[in-house]
Amino acid sequence: MIHITLYIMEKELGFDVCKRCGIKSMAARMLNDNELEQLSDSCAEVDFKKGDIIIKQGALSSNVIYVKTGLVKFHLNGPIKEQIIRIDRAPVFIGLPMTFNDKINYYSATAIEPTRVCFIDINIFKRFVLQNGDFAFQIIVDLCKNEYSSMNKCVNRTQKNINGRIADALLHFNDIYDKKEFVLPLSRQELGNYTDTSRENVSRILTELHHDQIIKVSNKRIKILNEEMLILIGKNG
DNA sequence: GCATTAACCACAG
DNA sequence: CTGTGGTTAATGC
């Protein structure tokens, strides 16, 4: 709250907010002072609470969104039910693949922890891509990473068994928090829909891992006791 | 056949 | 929303 007030004050006083931003994206680091000034004039910073929808599938979008801090889930309404595609921690862009060719969001993004983002006007963003090759290159790097991880997720989802998928998910959270012990930001239902299985299976496998002393589970608090084993399960199921 | 896996259903906290 | 148990369908040995 204080941050936002400060931010607005700075903006009204004409301070160069983006230039002084400490969590610039790799792409934004390629912008010169003049471009950063333009960016400051065309972006807005917003805080989201856990559970707040940042963008909604189907809605019109005229922004690229840069997540500065927090955790975001990307989800899509499938033919039968909604599916969680990815869970990413900041820093990450939302909306890159769609804003370039389409005006409509083809997925939703929701904050699953307190999250701070910048909305960036799509026109200025496009102008940077056309003007500044280094900027464009960094955006492409980002898109490539995303594509690769999507492909990877796709084969893992199809070929690994449930144990492996859930082990991988736990390792992913281990990665996100960079801690052996963390609080799951998802319900069992959501974790199931992230790992392509039912909430029942998630429950069962978590207690199984608990009994095997590989993790410690108490409600949403998870502690990884045997990471090697978890990696092994992730690999072999 | 028999065992394993995972989905589905139901019911209790 | 969770945890658990029972049932069932599919698949592999």
User: Within 10 Å of residue A50's Cβ, how many Cβ atoms?
Assistant: 13
| Distance from the Cα of residue A32 to its chain's centroid | 27
The two three-digit tokens of residue A110, written as one number:
């929701």
pLDDT of residue A4: 57
pLDDT of residue A208: 95
- Least Cα distance to A224 among A171, A177, A188 occurs for A171
For the full predicted model, state whether its pTM sits above 0.85: yes
Residue A171 near residue A230 (C-beta atoms within 8 A): yes
Q: Which residue has the tokens 């941050």?
A: A3
A218 touches strand C (CB under 7 A): no
How far apart, in Å, are the Cα atoms of A153 and each of A24, A29, A70, A173, A194? Answer: 27, 29, 22, 15, 11
pLDDT of residue A105: 93
pLDDT of residue A173: 97
pLDDT of residue A65: 96
pLDDT of residue A101: 77
pLDDT digits (tens, 9 = 90+) for A91-138: 999 999 887 777 899 999 999 999 999 999 999 999 999 999 999 999
A197 touches strand B (CB under 7 A): yes
Regions of chain A short of the pLDDT cut 70: 1-15
Nearest protein residue to the C1' atom of B7, measured from CA? A198
Distance CA A194, CA A190 (A): 6
Residue A84: strand pairing partners:
A75
- Å from the A221 CA to the C5 C1': 25
Distance CA A18, CA A58 (A): 30
- Å from the A188 CA to the B5 C1': 20
- Å from the A183 CA to the C6 C1': 32
pLDDT of residue A5: 56
pLDDT of residue A12: 54
pLDDT of residue A63: 92
